[in-house]
Structure 1
């Protein structure tokens, strides 16, 4: 198996080479490096902003009037079109990430999203709005393919796993801004009530467009493309204060060279077929596809995109109240997701996944019971209890599925198939999201609380499937590769 990337400093054979006195807050070069990494991490904020913005817009009468009160399939299309745009970019994103480099691929995606958010803000018709959202999804595919890989490939070893886990956790930073922006604009008596949130969606992309080409390029990509001197300088500058003879830098440099040489000679077939040609890669792909599917079909899709419809069915109909709860929920989510990101190395991946799945199953069952009680008997307390269990459900979701699905996917993929494997992961997420976004409003209207029971049944089967899937993760984690670098728990 080829080069693993996200490792805990104390779990590797080069732990003794790391300067224990060097922390992210007391070393100028590490502070600079982590600032560049934050620029990459906010790629996820664009995606999180979109989901929360669309939730908020559905509570704005100004938006509903502008787009003729969309519902059912039309509302599903408005939500799903961004992920349809993402699908269009998937055939090209991994080739661009491997071809022109991680930085330029992020720049390309950010450029498209800047243009698309301008069109979205200026939309004069539902068709123009849908077209702009398609372009946002298309551009996001390129940035989201390259950014988390670059985070992993330039991070200082001791911070690699937490920082990569933060990538998906910062989905909620975007959702918080969107939720509170729509809460702040719902009293604007003009189309700027929805245009302003649409405009602010482009902020992360504007920052990346302006700055990303000044960030460091991946040393692995540089070495892969014969630019070893640049790679060594990059590692030395950020990991050892410019000392190219530092033992840690030399170890990382030689490990990367050996891993890439291994990929070229022993595992030289790097086409799409290589994802399934070996038993190890087939296990990886089963895990990746399962995680991508579970991440969107754990019952979270209802609240993520159709919170206002859920609220309407439990008697909470005021726009201000809906938007306020949405804003508080996003802050709650971010807190749990960031907390879990820093617990990854301490508690382990397997434990977090199983804990998350079991608690989600419990809290979703409670939501279904309370929803049914309100629908059948009209008890206000039951409707309010649904809100409490939504918060508890999301805390359970956030301790594993928010921080780990991206970081673990990137962790278990060797360099030679990393871009393609991560592309498959994103593709499965988009396909399941599109289906989710189309089906949820229709099913909720038709089945009401009974739809919760359907999703709870799926959660139960997911929990038992996950136990089997995570057993495979544990087997992969025990596999050692060259230079004794090991996969995380």
Structure 2
């Protein structure tokens, strides 16, 4: 495959190296404060997942809804993914049609409504239905928020902040886990209603605050609103001045859009442009494999059914289960935060290989310890399982949490980003639904033996990553496109756009000079 080096002679990367730190640039400080609203999107997902675990550990909740088991409990765990599947189907086209901000605000408003519905549910079906629609709203947001962040941040901080984006899921995990730990002793219905109603806070903040955030300049430029996109880059990336970085960014963005022949249309011609080239098929493969891997490498066991796993190894009290869940979320979050700042300095493919190998080895040990505990019942083996789950989560959090968003987004073009990322989220939800629905059934039916196919799948993923993942470290979004599409059409687009921008610049200078002469 073609290398991206040399197309822009590293101009943007060299310019970024000369930039002062973001915290010394007032416009970037303001931009990143505004980006808090979209950056918090994954928190709603994490909060709900934490409640999926935590509420199963609260006796009042389980007794109130008839102690659901098996497939009923499986659908409860998977219901958010069902809503997410629908959200991803409609989210991509809506994102491309209306822009990023309307979907973030609308999805947050739906979450607010469904939180109220869950809190005052009269039966388990109603509660699960609210969870399903909450998933729809959360993934409508996801389709737009992650794309907005990647397309708005300064190129110098893109790798770090796009990796940081998904780590906020752990803020939701932490809040949900520790709230349920704090309320499980309550004997009233508020032991589960209080954690539910507290989900309101963040989406209510997003409904309003996202409108103070600028729209994606890449989306504006792709829709022909070039001057609006340019002004956003000047205001935030140039600190109010059209400096060299802004000019090179504009040139790259416009050249990338000009060179991309993809037609995002719901017809045969549009499908041919998406799947008709080797580069686009490779992109789609990367998106789907990353999505499936994030959900199907064993993390769903811990994410939704930790209480059942702890029951298997003798840790059956509500206090033990909620405390372990709370401690685990904090450790995972710290790991993911550190990884988000390390990832820009490490090769992506190497990170995926190292983390997946660690997850596979951990899962094999996890399986062996569980099997021995079932045979002998030694408490030490049960504690060993908990320790190995922490180690397994370390490898998951260092790679698959931050990069499941960042890696697919940076591998696709501006025109493709909304649709391809919607496909990524769709794949995440389908694989999450399958694993979440099947896991409690499999665990109840055959116990620890259900882990054996998981070990084989993890080993297969290492082979797939080794042979098909590409390296993107240090490249701009437009340079990454060259890896897939080659440099010929891109060089032509650069030449064309450069001539066009130079002509406009010369025209503007001439107009200013004429105006000055008239005044004189």
- TM-score w.r.t. the length of structure 2 is 0.87
Instruction: Assess, with a 3 A threshold, how the Cα gap between structure 1 residues 342 and 364 changes in structure 2: closer, same or farther.
Output: same
- 1:30 is aligned, of 16, 28, 47, to 28
Alignment partner, residue 373 of structure 1: 372
Larger mean CA deviation between 350-359 and 88-97 belongs to 88-97
Q: CA deviation digits over 1:221-242, x for unaligned, max 9?
A: 1122232222122111111111
1:19 deviation in Å?
6.8
> Distance between the aligned counterparts of 2:402 and 2:374, measured in 1?
34
CA displacement at 1:268 relative to structure 2: 4.1
Matches within 5 A, 1:438-449: 438-449=437-448
Q: What's the offset of the Cα at 1:255?
A: 2.1
After alignment, is 68-77 or 463-472 more displaced?
463-472
1:435 equivalenced with 2:434 (yes/no): yes
2:251 equivalent in structure 1? 254
| Distance verdict in 2 for CA 1:442–1:195, change over 3 Å | same
Distance (whole Å) between structure 1 residues aligned to residue 10 and residue 43 of structure 2: 31
Structure 1 SS opposite 2:122: coil
For residue 21 of structure 1, report the CA deviation from its aligned partner. 5.0
Task: Tell me what 1:129 maps to.
Answer: 127
State the TM-score, normalizing by the size of structure 1.
0.93
Q: How far apart, CA to CA, are the structure 1 residues paired with 2:14 and 2:230? A: 20
Contact 1:260 1:415 survives alignment (8 Å)? yes
Distance 1:144 1:426 in 2: 8
Q: State which of 131, 141, 144 in structure 2 corresponds to 1:143.
A: 141
Query: Residues 220 and 87 (structure 1 numbering): CA distance in 2 closer, same or farther, change over 3 Å?
Result: same
Equivalent residue in structure 2 for 1:162, among 154, 160, 175: 160
Asked if the contact 1:82/1:134 (under 8 Å) is kept, the reply is yes
Matched, 1:363 2:362: yes
Q: Provide the rounded CA distance (Å) in 2 between the counterparts of 1:187 and 1:256.
A: 56
Aligned to 1:353: 352
What displacement does 1:477 show?
Answer: 8.0
How far apart are the structure 2 equivalents of 1:85 and 1:269? 24
Aligned length: 476
Alpha-carbon distance in 2 for matches of 1:295, 1:221:
27
Residues 182-216 of structure 1 deviation map (CA, whole Å, 9 limit, x = unaligned): 00111121111111111122322111102111111
Question: Which whole-Å deviations, capped at 9, do the CAs of 1:364-413 have from their partners, x for residues lacking one?
Answer: 11111111111000111001000000000010111211111110100001
What is aligned with 1:325?
Answer: 324
2:199 and 2:491 map into 1 onto residues whose CA distance is 44
Q: Which residue of 2 aligns with 1:337?
A: 336
Matched, 1:280 2:279: yes
1:114 and 2:112 correspond: yes
Provide structure 1 residue ranges, at least 5 long, that are not aligned to the other structure: none
- CA RMSD in angstroms comes to 2.3
Within 5 Å, which residues of 2 pair with 1:1-400?
12-18=10-16, 20-243=18-241, 245-263=242-260, 266-268=261-263, 270=265, 271-400=270-399
Distance in 1 of aligned mates of 2:96 and 2:19: 35
Q: Is contact 1:255-1:483 (8 Å) kept?
A: no
Query: Could you report, residue by residue, the CA deviation over 1:448-484 in whole angstroms, capped at 9, with x for unpaired residues?
Result: 1111222112212222222222268899885565379
Q: Which 5+ residue runs of structure 2 have no aligned equivalent?
A: 474-479, 494-520
Checking the alignment, whether the CA contact within 8 Å between 2:219 and 2:414 is kept in structure 1 is no
Q: Could you say which residue in structure 1 is the equivalent of 2:422? A: 423
Contact 2:181-2:326 within 8 A present in 1 as well: yes
Shift in CA distance, 483/118, structure 1 to aligned 2, threshold 3 Å: farther
C-alpha displacement at 1:360, in angstroms?
0.8
Q: Which has the larger radius of gyration?
A: 2
3-state SS, counterpart of residue 284 of structure 1: helix
